[in-house]
Amino acid sequence: MPDTSSSAGVGRYVAAAERATARRAADLAAMRRCRFDTLAVHGLYTMQEALDFNQGSIIEPIFMSTSQAYRDSDEMEAALSYRIPTWCYSRIANPSTYYLENTLALLDGYGFQGETSCCATSSGMAAIHTATEPFLAVDPKRPGARLNFVATCQVYGGTFQLFNVRYMQERGVECRWIRNSADLDEWASKIDENTRFLYGEMPSNPGQAFFDLAAVARLAHAHGLPLIVDSTVASPALLRPLCHGADVVVQSVTKSMTSSGFGICGAVIARHGLTSRFGGDELRANFAGYLKLLPNRDLGPNLSPMNAILSLNDLRTLRSKMDLLSRSTMQVAAWLERQPVIEGVDYLGLPSHPLHALASRYLFLVDAEHDAQYGQPVNRYGHLMSFRVKGGPAPTRKVFDAMQRIWRATDLGRIKSVATIPAISTHSQQGEEGRCLAGIPSNLIRLCVGGEHPDDIIADLDQALRAIDGKVQRAVPAAFSAGGASREQPGR
Ligand SMILES: Cc1ncc(COP(=O)(O)O)c(C=O)c1O
């Protein structure tokens, strides 16, 4: 016998929740009439929300609590069956994370004619795993089929490992690498009836591979497949793949969005009603919401509330930051290109880059046409560039070791300029063969220009390049802390 008193009680909570849902829809509609900067500053955290539920706090509070209390069993039942808005338990959801997710869904959905949702994760890698894994479930009708997916080979080293080792070697799912992502025929030739999705990183880290997003999305959809794009390097301030036909965007929010370097954070942002011939209706209807409430509830890779608010606070100035960093990077890249000891500079903003024309069709500073400073669309190419030093790895290391203002670290998108040698760091695990495939030679330095004045970065590079002649020597015998930090040993 159904417990009717409980059903009536549950019904009252469901009715009350409808009013909250209507208010959220009205807030969302109002925000969607605002420009990018306003979305980045406010997201869906309204003054009313602050006054009604958060002691009037003008900044989104950090809810560190693990779990939410319910008034009675009826509310608990309604909540845990997902019939009313709830956050329940911080592995599944959390109010602070909710504010971040709404902001990210608005930013990557800016200009997109349709609804978007976001599922925040504990890192960019968790986002990539979260976004791809559900498409690789075994089809009960064809349990023996060898599944595959198609991906650009120029991807972040962690992504390469996930696809190559975890999926391909350990699970037997075939990753079909695209060598030249600008070649549409190559994409088409790799798709068959066992393909589950197409995946691309653009611009790629560090090679800055770039493809014709709209054309690849059309191809994916013609086969009933979703296109997943990692657009971490551009950020939504320069590129919003959903507007060009992509179904899912993954972001390492750790990078340009959390430029202070205070948090690791990832996000999956998806359009509602995505294309996928595989999976259930729930997956297609609201992919990010599905991920959050179902697979991630069970797998547990969601974001901590502290990191949610640290990231949220940083990304409020994303547009102006990306503009500044892009302009400075352009200056530094143009200077480096003129230096005789440099074999080549890879920066999509340089007319010499083979993909400059293609990138110029996609990479624009959002809202430049509404900015009094510009008044028209302007191309911006981001903060990531790389350069190759003549003479191989030895002089490359000399230049790298001589940097004084630019930090040596495996990091990017920071407000501080950071450089690394990908072959010995971010892309070391994939081995020589993998690096060859992705075009990452051992004389390549990846440089991400930060918010310093570009003159000072150029001055640092200038003195570092002179180290090739042996003029700057630096030997650092190290003592290590248990945590892994090293310092110069006294008396040596
Ligand atoms: C393009 C890109 N995607 C994903 C990631 C992974 O992000 P996270 O370090 O937040 O896991 C990185 C990290 O450098 C990256 O550069």
What are 184-200's pLDDT values in tens digits? 999 999 999 999 999 99
Query: Ligand 1 mean position to 156 CA, how many Å?
Result: 6
> Residue 1 pLDDT more than 50?
no
152, 208, 248, 255: residue to mutate for ligand 1 pocket, most atoms within 8 A of CB: 255
Q: What is the pLDDT of residue 3?
A: 54
Q: What is the pLDDT of residue 370?
A: 98
Query: Ligand 1 mean position to 127 CA, how many Å?
Result: 9
What does the H/E/C string look like for 99-138?
Answer: HHHHHHHHHHCCCCCCCEEEEEECCHHHHHHHHHHHHHCC
Q: What is the pLDDT of residue 390?
A: 97
Residue in this structure with the two tokens 């220009």, named with its chain if needed: 449
The H-assigned helical ranges of 164-212 are 170-171, 184-189
Q: Is there an atom of ligand 1 within 6 Å of 209 CB?
A: no
Measured from the Cα of 128, ligand 1's closest atom is 4
Query: Ligand 1 mean position to 33 CA, how many Å?
Result: 31
Query: Ligand 1 mean position to 201 CA, how many Å?
Result: 11
Q: What is the pLDDT of residue 483?
A: 86
Identify the CA nearest to 289 among candidates 30, 92, 59.
Answer: 92
Q: What is the pLDDT of residue 361?
A: 98
Q: Is there an atom of ligand 1 within 6 Å of 230 CB?
A: yes
Share of the chain above pLDDT 90, in %: 88
pLDDT tens digits for range 392-441: 999 999 999 999 999 999 999 999 999 999 999 877 777 777 777 777 89
Strand arrangement, sheet containing 342-346: 342-346, 384-389, 444-448, 418-420, 407-408
pLDDT tens digits for range 262-276: 999 999 999 999 999
Q: What is the pLDDT of residue 141?
A: 87
Among 90-104, 177-191, 208-222, 478-492, the least confident range: 478-492
pLDDT tens digits for range 61-74: 999 999 999 999 99
pLDDT tens digits for range 318-371: 999 999 999 999 999 999 999 999 999 999 999 999 999 999 999 999 999 999
Q: What is the pLDDT of residue 156?
A: 93
Q: What is the pLDDT of residue 433?
A: 79
> Residue 120 pLDDT more than 80?
yes
Q: Is there an atom of ligand 1 within 6 Å of 154 CB?
A: no
> Residue 303 pLDDT more than 60?
yes
* Nearest residue (CA) to ligand 1, atom 7: 124
Q: Is there an atom of ligand 1 within 6 Å of 301 CB?
A: no
> Residue 384 pLDDT more than 60?
yes
Identify the CA nearest to 265 among candidates 295, 232, 237.
Answer: 232
Q: What is the largest CA-CA distance in the chain?
A: 87
Handedness of CA 258, 164, 161, 206 (dihedral sign): negative
Give the C-alpha separation, 50 to 465, whole Å: 53
Give the Cβ contact number of residue 218 at 10 Å.
14
Q: Is there an atom of ligand 1 within 6 Å of 157 CB?
A: no
Q: What is the mean pLDDT of residues 226-231?
A: 98
pLDDT tens digits for range 240-256: 999 999 999 999 999 99
Q: Please enumerate in sequence order all residues whose Cβ is within 8 A of that of 112, keeping only pairs 6 or more positions apart, or say none.
A: 240, 242, 243, 271
Q: Is there an atom of ligand 1 within 6 Å of 443 CB?
A: no
Q: Is there an atom of ligand 1 within 6 Å of 199 CB?
A: no
Measured from the Cα of 255, ligand 1's closest atom is 10
Query: Ligand 1 mean position to 283 CA, how many Å?
Result: 25
Q: Is there an atom of ligand 1 within 6 Å of 232 CB?
A: yes
Query: Ligand 1 mean position to 296 CA, how many Å?
Result: 19
Give the C-alpha separation, 110 to 108, whole Å: 6
> Residue 233 pLDDT more than 50?
yes
What domains appear along the chain, each with residue ranges and CATH number? Answer: 96-315 (3.40.640.10), 317-488 (3.90.1150.10)
Query: Ligand 1 mean position to 233 CA, how many Å?
Result: 9
> Residue 5 pLDDT more than 60?
no
Residue scoring higher pLDDT (64 or 491): 64
pLDDT tens digits for range 51-105: 999 999 999 999 999 999 999 999 999 999 989 999 999 999 999 999 999 999 9
Query: Ligand 1 mean position to 416 CA, how many Å?
Result: 17
Average pLDDT, the chain: 94
267: its two tokens = 């996000």
Q: Is there an atom of ligand 1 within 6 Å of 252 CB?
A: yes
